[in-house]
Structure 1
């Protein structure tokens, strides 16, 4: 009897067992290895949950799921349920009409005009952070950029002063939540163990504590009576089209938490990777400095920061090699198929962005850092999705690119960074991050 569905090549036997075990500690190596064995798309069936997964690093497949037939795919229960119990129902975890309503409410706060008004704040916070560097300073840039990016989000989006201890507590909570979440997703049978040990309950308490901190920011704003004209003001005063009611405090805090996480973590990770790559390429640093000199007084204007430039090429190439959003998950609402493949309703789709960005089918010298490749007039059509694609394209893309361009130009107009390592150790949780980027900063 002919099977009803035609999955891509299945990962079975010893390789499947290896994938299930090694995938917990090293998902990038495991998934990349499976693609080398099975091709650009493969299928794996989870024994313990009887769920079917399709992994793909094929450009046509990725575009089909995220663009052409996006209405048939929700964020999977991996994020909407498992991650949602920690982060709530914000843009990252929500689905369907609820997600669309929230997106429409928040989108105006990330228009290019709104973002352009934030340049001065980003510049001030960056200057303040860079003042701590002497003639030579030993540093872990990963920690530095997390602190800086967190402060920038607090000041730009919520006009809030958060003390250093609170920043550290929120950052620590977010990291620990991701660690537990990763174990729940990659070892579903281990979830019961985590429950019995009380680890999940402790994680939920960390989430509640983080939300309480954000609620206090919200309360202070309301009690102050001040109008800041920032994203938080917009969220407080905005009304749903159908009911003319405002967002509940619970929804507001959920959105604030998501924006804090997405707004600081992915940017901090991307900057850490970018500075490492520049440290490995003297010719890139020299070319960057020439652009900074040529831009003169214009280099920190919104127009200069947002336009196509060598600075933006560096960021794009770094995010190609080390995309913080290393995978995108979806779940089929109905039976579906593409070309020779077909799959049933409920199938989990894992779009492996890291693999797509290094796929030799689409990229020459895929593992090399070559910012100039983005000078290509066809760059818009590259197999390149660091911010996702389709209706769920990252709402903060322009904000993140502008912020990173400003930080890079500010730093390299006065300093150099010499990394102590030639290779980075990476950790793939909800986002891809380096474990550290240690080195020495030298004032020029």
Structure 2
């Protein structure tokens, strides 16, 4: 009797055991290695949990899941349940009608017009952060960018209503939660072990502490009666279309925590990779500086930052080589099929964006840093999804691109960065990050 479903090539035997247990420490190496062995899509059955997983770095398959048949796919339990218990039920973890309702409510706050109004806040934080560079030329840019991006999100979300100590505390908690979450997801039965030793309970308490900080900021804003035209004001004033009611405080806090995580984590990691790549490519660094000089006073205007440019090409190419959102997960709501493959309801789909971005089927010289490739008039059709695709395309894409372009241009107008590292270590948690980026800053 023929099998009911036709999954892609299955990873079995020793390679399967290797994948399940080494995927924790080196997920990029394991998944990439499996694609070399099995092709652009492969199947893995998790024996202990009986979960069925399809991994893919095939462009058409990715677009089918995220665009053509997106209604048949929810964010998997990895995010909606496992991550959700730590960071709440906001845009990142929500599904279905609840997600759509929240998306419609929050989307206007991230329009290009709204983001333009936030550029002055970004600029002020960047100028303040750059001040020590003349006196302290040696720096770890990884730590620097995490602090800067976190401050920018804090100020654009909350204006001046959050203290520096609270910002640091939130950053520490978010990192610790990610570490536990990554282990919980990747090691079979690890949830039970973490629960047994009380680690999950302690981590949830840390998350509650983060939410309490945000709640205090929310209470402070309400009690002040001030309007500051920031994202917090927008969230407070938003009303649901069907009821005319505002979000509950619980929902507001969940959304703000998720905006904190998504708004600083991916940007800070991307900036570390961007500056590393520029430091390794002096020709591109000089071309970038020349563009900034040619733009003159307009270099930091919203219009110039968001238009097609070499600055944008550098950012895009770096995010191709090092996508912070290195994988996207979905779970099938019903049985489905694509071309020769078919799979059953409940199957987990892991879209391997890091592999897609360097798949030689779609990219010439896939591991080389070539910003000019994004000059191609067909660039919109590239196998390139650093912010996802379809209805769940990252709501903060324009915010992040504007912020990164502003930071890159303001830095390279005055300074140069020489990395002490020639090879950058990557660590794949919820997002792809490096562990450090030490180097020397010199004034031009």
Indicate whether the TM-score tops 0.5. Answer: yes
What SS is found at the alignment partner of 2:326?
A: coil
Which is worse superposed, 148-157 or 26-35? 148-157
Structure 2 residue 65 is matched with structure 1 residue 60: no
Could you list the per-position Cα deviations for residues 368-418 of structure 1 after superposition, in whole angstroms to 9, with x for gaps in the alignment?
010000000000000000000000000000010000000000000111100
Number of the residue aligned with 1:389: 389
1:208-357 to structure 2, matched below 5 A, reads 208-357=208-357
**What is the alpha-carbon distance in structure 1 between the residues aligned to residue 420 and residue 5 of structure 2?**
51
Q: CA deviation at 1:190?
A: 1.4
Number of the residue aligned with 2:85: 85
What SS is found at the alignment partner of 2:137?
A: strand
Could you list the per-position Cα deviations for residues 331-374 of structure 1 after superposition, in whole angstroms to 9, with x for gaps in the alignment?
00000010000000000000000000000000000000100000
Q: CA deviation at 1:166?
A: 2.2
**What is the alpha-carbon distance in structure 1 between the residues aligned to residue 136 and residue 173 of structure 2?**
32
Number of the residue aligned with 1:127: 127
TM-score by length of 1: 0.99
Partners of 1:160 and 1:217 within 8 A in 2: no
Q: CA deviation at 1:63?
A: 0.1
Number of the residue aligned with 2:73: 73
**What is the alpha-carbon distance in structure 2 between the residues aligned to residue 189 and residue 285 of structure 1?**
47
Q: CA deviation at 1:135?
A: 5.4
Could you list the per-position Cα deviations for residues 180-217 of structure 1 after superposition, in whole angstroms to 9, with x for gaps in the alignment?
11111111311111011111011001100000011111
Structure 2 residue 51 is matched with structure 1 residue 51: yes
Structure 2 residue 40 is matched with structure 1 residue 40: yes
Number of the residue aligned with 1:97: 97
Q: CA deviation at 1:226?
A: 0.2
Could you list the per-position Cα deviations for residues 18-37 of structure 1 after superposition, in whole angstroms to 9, with x for gaps in the alignment?
00111011100000000000
**What is the alpha-carbon distance in structure 2 between the residues aligned to residue 105 and residue 33 of structure 1?**
42
Structure 2 residue 8 is matched with structure 1 residue 8: yes
Number of the residue aligned with 2:164: 164
Partners of 1:135 and 1:443 within 8 A in 2: no
Structure 2 residue 118 is matched with structure 1 residue 118: yes
What SS is found at the alignment partner of 1:89?
A: coil
Number of the residue aligned with 2:435: 435
Partners of 2:154 and 2:167 within 8 A in 1: no
Number of the residue aligned with 2:17: 17
Could you list the per-position Cα deviations for residues 91-135 of structure 1 after superposition, in whole angstroms to 9, with x for gaps in the alignment?
000000000000000000000011111111111110010011125
**What is the alpha-carbon distance in structure 1 between the residues aligned to residue 14 and residue 333 of structure 2?**
31
Partners of 2:52 and 2:347 within 8 A in 1: yes
**What is the alpha-carbon distance in structure 2 between the residues aligned to residue 123 and residue 191 of structure 1?**
43
Number of the residue aligned with 2:399: 399
**What is the alpha-carbon distance in structure 2 between the residues aligned to residue 188 and residue 98 of structure 1?**
30
Q: CA deviation at 1:168?
A: 2.2
What SS is found at the alignment partner of 1:175?
A: helix
Which is worse superposed, 174-183 or 92-101? 174-183
Structure 2 residue 378 is matched with structure 1 residue 378: yes
Partners of 2:161 and 2:220 within 8 A in 1: no
Which is worse superposed, 30-39 or 169-178? 169-178
What SS is found at the alignment partner of 2:132?
A: coil
Q: Which runs of 5+ in 1 are unaligned?
A: none
What SS is found at the alignment partner of 2:350?
A: strand
Alignment root-mean-square deviation, CA: 0.8
Q: CA deviation at 1:167?
A: 2.2
* Runs of 4+ that moved beyond 2 A: 160-168
Number of the residue aligned with 2:138: 138
Q: CA deviation at 1:161?
A: 4.5
Q: CA deviation at 1:136?
A: 5.5
Q: Which runs of 5+ in 2 are unaligned?
A: none
Q: CA deviation at 1:165?
A: 2.7
Could you list the per-position Cα deviations for residues 228-265 of structure 1 after superposition, in whole angstroms to 9, with x for gaps in the alignment?
12211111111111111110000000000000110011
Aligned residues: 444
**What is the alpha-carbon distance in structure 2 between the residues aligned to residue 256 and residue 136 of structure 1?**
34
What SS is found at the alignment partner of 1:91?
A: coil
**What is the alpha-carbon distance in structure 2 between the residues aligned to residue 110 and residue 367 of structure 1?**
33
**What is the alpha-carbon distance in structure 1 between the residues aligned to residue 277 and residue 135 of structure 2?**
22
Partners of 1:151 and 1:162 within 8 A in 2: no
What SS is found at the alignment partner of 1:229?
A: coil
What SS is found at the alignment partner of 1:364?
A: coil
**What is the alpha-carbon distance in structure 2 between the residues aligned to residue 49 and residue 160 of structure 1?**
47
**What is the alpha-carbon distance in structure 2 between the residues aligned to residue 352 and residue 11 of structure 1?**
16
TM-score by length of 2: 0.99
